Amino acid sequence: MIPSSTRRLFASPVRMGVLIVVTTVFLFTVGGFLSPMSTVQAANSNSVDFERDSSHYMTASDSTSLSVTGDMTLEAWVKFESIPPYDSAEMVIASKFDSGSDKRSFIFSQRNNGGSQYLSFIASSAGTGGTVKDVAWTPSTGTWYHVAAVYTASSGSVSFYVNGVQQGSTQTGLPTSIHDNDAAFTVGGSGTDGGYFDGKIDDLRIWNIVRTAQEILDDKSRELYGNEVGLVGYWKLNADSGLDSTANGNTLSGVNSPVDSLDTAFPGVTETLKVRKSANESVSDATSGITLQNDDALKLSLLANKTYIIDGVLFASSTSATPDIKIAFFGPTDSIITIGYTNDVNEAVLFSGATSTRIQLPANTPTSIHIKGTITTGGYSGDLQLKWAQVSGDNDATTVMRGSYLRADGI
């Protein structure tokens, strides 16, 4: 609840002015008006810890969405506690492969071949046998890595990526389709075939499309929404552990009791829900003073794929003979910002991050500029940043004063 002293600022009718539309991505949950900054920790909170000697793995029943027979991208964060110790040993990251019943589709794993370490992908088109393609890569234990295998059906090829960088060359010679069968989808092992993983796995994804190197790099260190095109299975492996974040409902169940871990591959996004300026800040230069600058105190950090209500007040003053200010809001990629501002003199409308027209200020008298609007973020988290500057370019100062604030509340 806003204190009464602040509520009085809104007692008279307010004329909505500048409407700003920007592309941005994030979430806010606003509480009381208490401190200069308030944050909430969200998103990536857990991974799953698999012990090879305990035969830990997870499994989801066969489904139409997991029966990928064409293009495929598999991605996961992995942290090895040991690596495959002897020739032909492997540690499965994800698979749909039951050799005992000749229900073989694919395996993505770390493999020991002749004493050397390889990232490996096996594909079978008939359900019997399988073609192995791999690329040399030796991980260190105790280090998080993002690994990906991208299978292109038309060329029968696979490319491997570590931390968004392709390893070696694209490998060819795989079948041009993958067998459709009712084998379970497994993580951290391949069921009756063993191959148990020793370490932690986080944020596992399976797509029925070929993802580009840039797409893999851009998305590897953030949680997805779950409705991205081509995403057929997505397990964040947070405290809800095996839940599928897509609409396909491919829930993973633990076998032999793998455990949740607080050790995560990338940090959860920290939301900054309300900020208050603790000191006056001035510009007073006829040239540089008219260039928009970031107000580092008035910046909100938002989560992806959320809608927020934004409100705030800028307390401004100027000793200039032509006192004024201009403002703008910028946000993360793919967000839509709609923000209005008004004071006793000015009102206007802005779109797509445009800068306001001149906001006239009374000379030598503090005044308030009211901010109201919304932001809907897209697929990226990031900052909602206020920028401001003089319009007239005067050597006498324009000041945004202590006590100015911004805040957000998720809808």
Q: Are residues 36 and 107 in the same domain?
A: no
Q: Are residues 279 and 250 in the same domain?
A: no
Q: Return the higher-pLDDT residue of 9 and 16.
A: 16
Give all strands (DSSP E) within 87-219, no chain letters: 90-98, 103-113, 116-123, 131-136, 144-152, 157-162, 165-172, 185-187, 199-207
Select from 228, 261, 294 the last residue of a domain: 261
Q: How far is Cα 34 from Cα 125, in angstroms, rounded to an integer?
A: 62
Mean residue pLDDT of the chain comes to: 86
Side-chain half-sphere CA neighbours of 280 within 13 A: 10
Q: Are residues 38 and 52 in the same domain?
A: no
What 8-state DSSP symbol labels residue 244?
B
Q: Are residues 220 and 340 in the same domain?
A: no
Domain that holds residue 311: 4-42+270-410
What is the structure's pLDDT at 38? 39
Alpha helices in 45-186 (DSSP H): none
Mean pLDDT computed over 296-302: 93
Q: Are residues 150 and 16 in the same domain?
A: no
Alpha helices in 254-373 (DSSP H): none
Residue carrying the six token digits 């989560």: 303
CA-CA distances (angstroms) from residue 390 to 132, 286, 297? 64, 9, 18
Q: Are residues 52 and 192 in the same domain?
A: yes
Q: Are residues 196 and 57 in the same domain?
A: yes
Going by C-alpha positions, the residue among 167, 169, 165, 177 that lies closest to residue 131 is 177
Select from 261, 285, 313 the last residue of a domain: 261
Q: What are the tens digits of pLDDT across the range 187-243?
A: 999 877 789 999 999 999 999 999 999 999 989 988 887 889 999 999 999 876 799
pLDDT at 253 over 80: yes
Query: Residue 99, by phi and psi: left (phi above 0), alpha (psi -120 to 50) or beta?
Result: alpha
Q: Give the three-class secondary structure for 8.
A: helix
pTM of the model as a whole? 0.65
| Residue 334, burial from CB neighbour count under 10 angstroms (0-12, 13-18, 19+) | middle
Nearest-5° angle of CA 156, CA 159, CA 165? Answer: 165
pLDDT over 70 percentage in the chain: 86
Going by C-alpha positions, the residue among 220, 129, 144 that lies closest to residue 179 is 129
Domain count, the chain: 2
Q: Return the higher-pLDDT residue of 345 and 371.
A: 371
Q: Are residues 251 and 311 in the same domain?
A: no
Q: How far is Cα 130 from Cα 120, in angstroms, rounded to an integer?
A: 12
What is the structure's pLDDT at 378? 80
Asked whether 133 and 120 are in contact (CB, 8 A), the reply is: yes
Question: How many Å separate Cα 185 from the centre of its chain?
Answer: 25
Q: Are residues 207 and 96 in the same domain?
A: yes
Q: Are residues 68 and 128 in the same domain?
A: yes
Q: Are residues 175 and 321 in the same domain?
A: no
Q: What are the tens digits of pLDDT across the range 77-125?
A: 999 999 999 999 999 999 999 988 889 999 999 999 999 999 999 999 9
Q: How far is Cα 234 from Cα 225, in angstroms, rounded to an integer?
A: 9
Residue 7 parent element (H or E): helix 4-7
What is the structure's pLDDT at 349? 65
| Residue 279, burial from CB neighbour count under 10 angstroms (0-12, 13-18, 19+) | exposed
We report the CATH number of the domain holding residue 368 as 2.60.120
End-to-end CA distance of the chain: 16
2 pLDDT tier (thresholds 50, 70, 90): very low
We report the CATH number of the domain holding residue 101 as 2.60.120.200
Question: How many Å separate Cα 396 from the centre of its chain?
Answer: 43
Select from 220, 235, 261 the last residue of a domain: 261
Q: What are the tens digits of pLDDT across the range 324-343?
A: 999 999 988 788 999 999 88
The set of residues, in sequence order, having a beta carbon less than 8 Å from that of 96 and lying 6+ positions away, is: 62, 66, 67, 105, 106, 181, 183, 184, 185, 186
Q: Are residues 336 and 354 in the same domain?
A: yes
What is the structure's pLDDT at 27? 28
